[in-house]
Amino acid sequence: MTAPPAPATARTSTVRGILLYLGALMFFACVDGTTKLLTHDHPVLLVAAVRYSALMLIMATMIPRPRRIYLRTVRRGLTVLRSLSLALVTLLMGFALRRLPLAEATSIAFLAPIAVSVLSGPLLGEKLTTARKVAVVAGFLGVLLIARPGGSLDALGVFFALLAASCNVCYQLLSRVLNSEHPLHLLYHSAVVGAGVFLLALPFAPLHGEHLTWAAAGLMLLLGVISGLGHLLCMTLAYRSVPASLLAPMTYLQLIFAGLYGFLVFRQVPVPLSLLGMAVIAVSGVTAAVSREAAPQPA
């Protein structure tokens, strides 16, 4: 019989997992910020195609016999739909980030986990608590504070961010359905499908912006590296060390990282009402996450 881990070892593992998770959130904020920087001068489809191609190549070099692992996915139809949902999230967020400040776009996109907490009731059989219902209503009120009528945000950018959040809801729900699949398989599948979709669509991308430089191409490749590290090294390893109930509320720290990136790189500071809306969304998301973990799961 294996002895339980010593308290000091367990604490070290927990601290390491939390730091890895925070690192993943910083990576994701950097991905969004760098995407905003690149899509200002280059087509969104080009940025996404290079990003996913880089991720696919990285995964192919890291995974032995990647084609066999790719074909090993059990529920292939749902896996393909999940990968297409993630590709749509990437595309729509790219369009949103071209038109919106980073912090505001990220906040609107964070409606997705709040909506998932409600839809997981009727769709996945999870218990829908009153706290989760209130959290969803508050989350949408937070978005109204950010994208309020008469505000300065671009309406089309808000529309793209809301569409991205809707596709993200589909992606997250399918991720829960496919939680028995190996995370490495799902990540590789997403890279292959995303690269294929964006490379096929690239000839139809509208030409605009600056001539592609080596620096810009390098940043696009770096997007694939950073997103891969965020998912593979940090998120996966973090969840192996720390319970999801502890990590889920921390997800909303990404809003702070996005705000810092937006200020340092773009000198964008949200107005007070937008900051209030971001805070409402963050509190709502944490409430929904905590109440989900506390709710009894179906047998």
Residue with tokens 């694939």: 224
Domain ranges for the chain, please list them. Answer: 16-294
Which segments of the chain have a pLDDT < 50?
A: 1-2, 295-299
What does residue 175 show for φ and ψ, rounded to 5 degrees? -65, -40
Quote the pLDDT of residue 296.
43
| Closest C-alpha among 155, 202, 159, 197 to residue 42 | 202
Quote the pLDDT of residue 202.
87
| Closest C-alpha among 239, 201, 247, 248 to residue 46 | 201
**pTM score of the predicted model:** 0.85
Quote the pLDDT of residue 182.
76
Quote the pLDDT of residue 165.
93
